[in-house]
Amino acid sequence: MDSHDLVVVAGRRLPRVDEVLDGWFEVAAARAGRFGSRYVHIIESLRRNTAGGKRFRPRMVLAAYESLGGTDIDVAARVAAAYELLHTALIVHDDVIDRDFVRRGRPNVSGSYRDRATTAGIPLPLAEHRGMSVAVVAGDLALAGAYRLVDEAGADELTRGRLIEILDDAVSAAAAGEYADVDFSLHVEMPSVDDIVEMERLKTAWYSFEAPLQAGAVLAGASLPTIDALGVFGRNIGIAYQIVDDVLGVFGEEGVTGKSSVGDLREGKRTVLIAHAATRPEWNTVRGLFGDPALDDDGAARLRDAIAASGARTFAELLAADYANRAWEALADGAVPASTRDELAPVVRAVLERTR
């Protein structure tokens, strides 16, 4: 998930989050130094992978926290930073699972260690395996860091317990979503639209939207109905966001989205868009192109035309809008104060604009 259009939210406090992350990386590097100098590279590699992100999950924590009246920015920044480290952990491990060595056009953790190994004369398969091994370890460190940051955020005992519970649920949801995703990729049959929506909710929306919003609300001392409403908001806007992301993955302009619009088709990524298209007669003529590692631009254009002609693009855009509307509804809940509605409304608008 990319989020360059959601950077309108809660930006003012982000420097504090980066300070917390810097602090965590410095402590981790100092600890690593005690274990030998080579090992510091893992921390540096994690740090590079965390740098320059849009801090989308921290924004959700801070938006909920501050709009609900929270004033202890130090505590909130630590919880916010925990969700950024969780994100780092999950994408590093997701890249291992997807055998990806590149993220956003640059080598990821696996990629940089693969490259170090090939430079040292290690043959490619071994070098790739080394990259993935280091990434398994690096992801573990980031995951441990997320727990540590929540643990030491400085919240009172009861709040801390609830924050850890929310974090735990988010980790489990992401694991369940990853499991479902791996499962889909092994079967010839296309999963249903509902199965894909559920997978995307678990794998990404939960830890990216629901959990950080609820963590910010709990930290601000919000009431249960408010926390619940933010959960419903987060779930629905998160699903909407993922559906739009999948549509852009196929129909987005590369110059605007910054990523190839052939990649998802070439790797056979199972999305709402494709699940719907696969139920239509137009799919029969292009079925063989989908997931073909040798797919070229012409083939991709034929696939895109068939998907559009089948009505799947429109279906996916309407489905995203439907989830965005449910997110609006959750914001309209009486338990959500106007300040929070104002803070989060741009998120919905940003997602809806992406559907156009």
Q: Which is nearer to its own copies, 136 or 332 (CB)?
A: 136
Q: Taking the chain, what is the end-to-end CA distance rounded to the nearest angstrom?
A: 18
Judged by CB under 8 A, the residue of 31, 296, 314, 332 near its own copies is 31
Task: Give residue for tokens 């320059």.
Answer: 52
Compute φ and ψ for 106, nearest 5 degrees: -125, 155
Least Å distance between CB 167 and its own copies?
Answer: 8
Least Å distance between CB 176 and its own copies?
Answer: 4
Q: Is 97 among the residues that bind its own copies (CB under 8 A)? A: yes
Note the residue count of the chain.
Answer: 356
Q: Which is nearer to its own copies, 11 or 33 (CB)?
A: 33
Helix pair 224-251, 297-309: axis angle to 10 deg: 130
Q: Is 178 among the residues that bind its own copies (CB under 8 A)? A: yes
Judged by CB under 8 A, the residue of 17, 80, 82, 89 near its own copies is 89
- Six-digit token pair at 193? 């639209």
| Window 151 to 170, contacts with its own copies (CB under 8 A) | 151-152, 157, 160-161, 164, 167-169
Least Å distance between CB 185 and its own copies?
Answer: 8
Q: Is 143 among the residues that bind its own copies (CB under 8 A)? A: yes
b/e per residue, 208-229, with b = 16+ CB within 10 A? bbbbbbbbbbbbbebeeebbbb
Cβ distance 269 to 259 under 8 Å? no
Q: Is 171 among the residues that bind its own copies (CB under 8 A)? A: yes
Judged by CB under 8 A, the residue of 202, 244, 248, 331 near its own copies is 202
Judged by CB under 8 A, the residue of 7, 176, 335, 345 near its own copies is 176
DSSP string, 241-294: HHHHHHHHHHHS-HHHHSS-SSHHHHTT---HHHHHHTTSGGGGGTGGGTT-TT
Q: Is 109 among the residues that bind its own copies (CB under 8 A)? A: no
- Six-digit token pair at 147? 């727990």
Q: Which is nearer to its own copies, 10 or 196 (CB)?
A: 196
Judged by CB under 8 A, the residue of 19, 26, 74, 140 near its own copies is 140
Within the chain, where are the H helices?
Answer: 14-34, 40-50, 56-67, 73-97, 109-119, 124-151, 157-186, 193-200, 211-219, 224-251, 254-257, 263-266, 272-277, 297-309, 312-332, 338-355
* 3-state SS assignment for residue 107: strand
Q: Is 74 among the residues that bind its own copies (CB under 8 A)? A: no
Judged by CB under 8 A, the residue of 1, 14, 42, 240 near its own copies is 42
Task: Give residue for tokens 């052939």.
Answer: 262
- Six-digit token pair at 328? 């609006």
Q: Is 232 among the residues that bind its own copies (CB under 8 A)? A: no
Q: Which is nearer to its own copies, 133 or 223 (CB)?
A: 133
Site residues (vs its own copies, CB under 8 A): 28, 31-32, 35-36, 38-39, 42, 89, 93, 96-97, 99, 117, 120, 122, 126-127, 129-130, 132-134, 136-141, 143-144, 147-148, 151-152, 157, 160-161, 164, 167-169, 171-173, 175-180, 182-183, 186, 198, 202
